[in-house]
A and B are shown apart, each in its own frame.
Chain A
Amino acid sequence: MSQAKEPGYKDLPLGALILDAGNSEKYETGGWRTFMPVHDPKKCTNCLLCWILCPDGAIIVKNEKFAGFNMKHCKGCGICAEECPPKIKAITMVKEKK
């Protein structure tokens, strides 16, 4: 880890406060994954339940249609695969090779 580049204790806000709102985007949680979601566009009906329920906002939507996963933030929790309607099942979780 390159600790030298990180700010020193005098540069940090007091009380470990986070002063900038909406900065969770900068914190990449993609490294936490064991399983990754795989999307099948042939099965997907674009109901976007996955987009509604993803706890990390990692479902990318363009023109009201599923457009992929943000793998920098997807933690691999599998909620999208679980919540994809039973008759559709367009998302499956597969073990990620690293």
Chain B
Amino acid sequence: MAKILALTGNEAAAYAMMQINPDVVAAYPITPQTALMQKFADFVADGDVDTELILVESEHSAMSATVGASAGGARAMTATAANGLALMWEIVYIAASNRLPIVMPVVNRALSAPINILCDHSDSMGCRDAGWIQIYSENAQEAYDNTIQAMRIAEHPDVLTPAMVTLDGFIISHGMEDIRLLEKKEVQKFVGEYKPPYPLLNPQHPVTYGPIDFHDYYFEHKRPQVDGMENAKRVAVQVGHEFGQKSGRTYGLFDAYRMEDAEIAAVILGSTAGTARPVVDELRQRGIKAGLLKLRVFRPFPAMEIAKVLSGKKAVAVLDRSLSFGAQGGPLFCEVCSALYNEGHRIPVINFIYGLGGRAVEIENIQEVYQKLGKVAKTGNVTKIVNYLNLRE
């Protein structure tokens, strides 16, 4: 059943899109997403999809056209990165508020300035409050798997919320791996037919999208988005399980690696989790009880579930590949801390900001994280809450 191809992360995500065969894709090129859309454009040109590919003049238009198509009843997708996502901003919120289940790969790249094309998570983290589901990928295989699953999660009637699937720029997007692909017909069966609840292009039942809404109804119209997002947690687990039955690769909200008896643990998003795994293995060989919590679904944030896995640990490190200026640490750090606080766990937690603008994260950098964690675990004292990994002082 499974075909194995050597693909980059961008190509893997494009294959997932091809196999989903969306009705409409609107896109504008931006590094490092360009190769993804280029590959998808190949599929369009070769007649491998029925997709109407709209080449627009900006990302603001790309998201606008995607929203229009989705409201019209189409299964619509786009993809972007960094400044492209920033330019989409206004419409990113509108897609979520209109409850349009758009799926968008985001190839993580640092936001300007200074201008930089390399990986960090400032782009997707910046719109963590926009109302989109966010699923982070560790490698190209996950970028492929997550894109397929995101379609099912987003379109679930209890969810109807757009979803971003992130893949680290260049590290995943341009790195080549063996990718296990499903058959196109299997993917088609898995995602099923999209039945839009209220398509705009239905003359039998004309509806209005995006009306003006004041103090009297706006609040009531926003509140159900919270439920849709919350439901996505349950649906993501169901879909991840079902995907596992088809592919042999089961997904949950996160991957708890050697966490059961761990005393120290790091919480990581994206490709760096892959760098941390051998570090954990090496520490284990030396008798140090280290663990790794690789978070997959950042929105909705699985707070209770994470607190449960981290409970009883002696010290926890949270790694953030983005800054949140003026906050008490990176976005992931703040989320993990509130999860622990609300569940009544008083565990020392330290934050590491790392990898901004493509700064390398090597094995020795992760070793440093666990070394510092070991010290915190031993003393119970946190001298420095926010640390900057591999930064020249």
Contacts and interface: CB of A to CB of B under 8 A. Distances in A.
A20 B31 CA distance: 44
A15 B220 contact: no
Contacts of B217: 6, 12, 16
A12 B221 contact: yes
B131 to A, nearest CB: 11
Given A15-B97, A15-B98, A15-B100, A21 B220 contact: no
Nearest to A19: B207
Nearest to B203: A21
B97 A6 contact: no
Contact of B197 (A7, A8, A9, A14): A14
A10 B224 contact: yes
A62 B197 CA distance: 41
Contacts of B210: 16
A9 B227 CA distance: 11
Interface string A1-28: 1010011111011111111010000000
B211 A9 contact: no
B220 A17 contact: no
Contact of A17 (B208, B216, B223, B228): B208
B341 interface: no
Interface residues of B, number: 23
Q: For the side of the interface on A, what is the size category?
A: 10 to 19
B213 A16 contact: yes
Nearest to B98: A15
A7 B98 contact: no
A1 B213 contact: no
Contacts, number: 52
A35 B1 CA distance: 74
Contact of B211 (A3, A14, A18, A21): A18
Interface string B68-104: 0000000000000000000000000000011110000
A18 B207 contact: yes
B208 A12 contact: no
Contacts of B223: 9
Nearest to A11: B220
A68 to B, nearest CB: 28
A7 B219 CA distance: 12
A9 B224 contact: yes
B286 interface: no
A3 B214 CA distance: 13
Interface string A59-94: 000000000000000000000000000000000000
Contacts of A7: 220
A19 to B, nearest CB: 5
B207 A14 contact: no
B388 interface: no
A15 B25 CA distance: 22
A16 B221 contact: yes
Nearest to B100: A15
A8 B220 contact: yes
A9 B98 CA distance: 15
Given A1-B216, A7-B220, A12-B221, A17 B209 contact: yes
A17 B73 CA distance: 14
A15 B209 contact: yes
B109 to A, nearest CB: 30
B221 A9 contact: yes
Contacts of B189: none
24 contacts: A6-B216, A6-B217, A6-B220, A9-B220, A9-B221, A9-B223, A9-B224, A10-B224, A12-B217, A12-B220, A12-B221, A13-B198, A14-B197, A14-B224, A15-B97, A15-B160, A15-B198, A15-B209, A16-B213, A16-B217, A16-B221, A17-B207, A18-B207, A21-B205
Given A8-B220, A9-B221, A17-B209, 4 more contacts: A14-B228, A16-B221, A18-B207, A19-B207
